[in-house]
Structure 1
Amino acid sequence: MAAQKLSFGEKVNLVVGGVGIAFSVLVGAVTNAFPGRSKASTYKLRFNLYFMRTFSRFLTALQIQSITPGTEDNYKSTVQERSLQPNSVRFDDGTQGHWIGNSKAPVVLLFLHGGGYATYAQKGHFVLASDLVSAAESKGGSLGILLVEYDLAPNATYPHQLRQAIHAYKYCVERLNISTSNILLAGDSAGGHLALGLLSHMTHPQDGLPKITAGVGHPSTMLISPWVTFDLSSNSMKANRLKDCLSQPTLHTWSRNFLGQAPLDNYNFPLGAQRSWWSPMQDIDLFVIAGADEIFVDDIEQWVDNLKEAGLKPKYHRVEGEAHDEMIWSEGFGFGRPTSKSMFEDWVCSQVAKREK
């Protein structure tokens, strides 16, 4: 996706937003010096979480898109830094995908990135993908990861991104002739939300969207901090608001941008779906990770309970001391390797090993 162009008025507002961020950061540098039970454990972590909340609160999605590197830019810089071979492809609808690892590997992980449908895939997404491939190869496996460069809101609204994810999946099963049993699906945050929409479409094809005719069953799936509801009233939304990188006002704006004029339905509101909606997915091998300090955690756990009541057997892990989606940003901010990332690597390695026996 090309860099977002702003109107003159939007550029003026960007300057105003930048001033607001600068002032708030100065205030935050002082207020975050004081620890508390409702805050993150260290000053460095408190300040960085505060900065991320402030950045997304003061700037619109279009402004963020205009000043940050695009998905393709982050892909190219990551593969160059890691001496990898770039390999980008287009699906039948023109959507672009970017390969990390062996595109001809017997096992492919289709990766749907997060960012509230408002931000591009970060370098952290591609670094994670590269590390997953390296982990699989270190154990004698072969893995290709295909990250989907879907279009962002507010210029693209629901169900546009779901349509793009469907085309990406069809590319794997129809053009690459990979069986469902050899496809892994993963998504973080909004990417987890999109992955759930894709899984729902496999089971309950949505009118007006391409049908998935090839393959049987559901791919083994990893969801990291999935966005399962646009409601903001859970206890963790309030209790963890100073421990997380997301804020309620930002989520409210981003969800409205994403939905546009579309109503809520079972594809875009996983937490609201009846148990009977999930019952046909009892064959799925599903692993869900959430941070104990993230504002999504209560909603994620309620949704996991709904799946269990529907007869599914998801594996769920609540990682103590972690905020939202830490495996994407933690190392980039100098906090080291989060537990959740090691869990994802272990899951990928076990999935690849099972398929290569």
Structure 2
Amino acid sequence: MADPKDSASKAAIPLELLKVEAAFVKRAVTSSSDKRSKGQGAPSYKRDVMYAASKHPVEFISFIPRPSLLVFMPHHKEISSTGVDKGGSQVPFYHSVSSGGITDWVSGGGFYGSATMGHLRYQFALQWEMAKRGHDFSIFSLTYTLSPGATYPTQLKQAALALNYLLVDEHRDPSSILLGGDSAGGNLAAALLEHIARPHPQVQPVTLSRTLNAALLISPWISFSLTEPSIANNAESDYLAPRALRRASNAYIPPGGDHDHDSQPVTAPPEWWSDVARRVVDKMMIWGGGGEVLIDGIRSFAATVKNGFSEADAERINRDEQKGTDRFTFVVTPRHSHEEMIIDEVFFKSKKGEGAEVIERWLSGALKLL
């Protein structure tokens, strides 16, 4: 029998579509070129209109339960054996095979939405761009169980299981692995780094024989707070809406549930990230859009990570080891929205943005050492 909540959600879809159309028309008429010339709001008329219209489906989508999807791309191989943790849960993923290193990628979606075609296109666009630069690597993309069907720390358990699969079942050298994640996936990637350094009591440990090659976090959703100034200040330059963020975080960790440093990595102290820098990953980049509503939390998180890496790097210098001053990189691209390079794969493909280019330059440098 159909769930009444599902039926109610589906019945509301026509009304939500009308809201999208109304928002589109309203912003198409009222979009201000004067604001854009002053550096306010979205940087172009097209983005301004699309972001305004997108807020309604982004808000509404949190009402609709959606299954985790395993998406297949032409010429890419599915791993036939899914991982199984001690609790018996299976973790599906897809795998693009090459002879070089490998990117263990965790896609975003607010923990309640599966990877979109934009997420997948961006991952493969990175692979193709790096191939043009002479860097060969595989893509291993985790599709974790979505909330509210499963809540934290289930998704962290699955991320740890997936990395252990690469290390144990595929016999991958840790130094050949780049961990990546965007938005909620950036949260999980950060949590996984913390977990490796300081194991979560409910999650199976991950043991490394040496550090991971690198970690790349794009617009990581590492704070669930909605009180930072950027939530209001960047409301017109981003497509994320506070109501959607609130619903998504409450589905991931229901009201009354326990938050910790792994569920919201922004709360972890610098010494946690010193441990990560010493024992878990060699290089790390955090990217944020200057126009996204989450940027204040991302800035705070990046400052903590930088302090942690700086302490670890000072120890390396004192031991006369290779100087590590460039191991951590934080970039904010002005006026860019939340994970803009991924959104561009869907709506704005005509020209590669500055954010995409800076990530590609950093990634190319990281892969040179493989």
Question: What TM-score comes out, normalization by structure 2 length?
Answer: 0.85
* 2:20/2:54 contact within 8 Å kept: no
> Which amino acid letter does the alignment assign opposite residue 91 of structure 1?
G
CA distance in 1, matches of 2:332, 2:41: 18
Aligned mate of 1:247, from 236, 241, 257: 241
Provide the residue aligned with 1:85 in structure 2. Answer: 76
C-alpha change, 1:60 and 1:15, in structure 2 (3 Å) is: farther
- 1:40 and 2:55 equivalent? no
Paired with 2:195 and 2:229, the residues of 1 have a C-alpha distance of 30
Note the residue ranges of structure 2 that are not aligned, 5 or more in a row: 311-326
Alignment partner of 1:266: what SS? Answer: coil
* Letter of the structure 1 residue corresponding to residue 128 of structure 2: S
Cα distance, 1:311 vs. partner? 4.1
Q: The residue matched to 2:181 in structure 1 has which SS?
A: strand
Shift of 1:34: 5.8
Instruction: Compute the displacement of 1:324 (Å).
Output: 0.8
Q: Does 1:192 align with 2:186?
A: yes
Residue 166 of structure 1: aligned partner: 160
SS at match of 1:286: strand
Aligned-partner Cα distance in 2 for 1:277–1:33: 45
Matches of residues 299-310 of structure 1 in structure 2 within 5 Å? 299-310=297-308
Local SS of the residue matching 1:223: strand
Matched, 1:325 2:339: yes
CA distance in 2, matches of 1:242, 1:352: 36
Q: Which amino acid aligns with 1:62?
A: I
Match of 2:317 in 1: none
User: What's the secondary structure of 1:127's corresponding residue?
Assistant: helix
Q: Report matched runs for 1:277-316 at 5 Å.
A: 277-283=272-278, 284=281, 285-312=283-310, 314-316=328-330
The answer as to whether partners of 1:71 and 1:122 remain within 8 angstroms in 2 is no
Could you tell me which amino acid in structure 2 is paired with residue 237 of structure 1? I
- Contact residue 32 and residue 43 of structure 1 kept, 8 A: yes
Q: 1:282 to 1:19 in 2, by over 3 A?
A: same
Deviation for aligned residue 1:61: 4.2
Can you give the 5+ residue segments of structure 1 that lack an aligned partner in the other structure?
Answer: none
1:99 aligns with 2:98: no
| Residue 51 (structure 2) aligned to one of 49, 52, 66 | 49
After TM superposition, the runs of 4+ consecutive aligned structure 1 residues lying more than 6 A away are: none
Aligned to 2:26: 27
Letter in 2 for 1:295: V
Contact 2:153–2:202 (8 Å) recurs in 1: no
Whether the 8 Å CA contact 1:244–1:295 is kept in 2: the answer is yes
What's the C-alpha RMSD, in Å, of the aligned pairs?
2.3
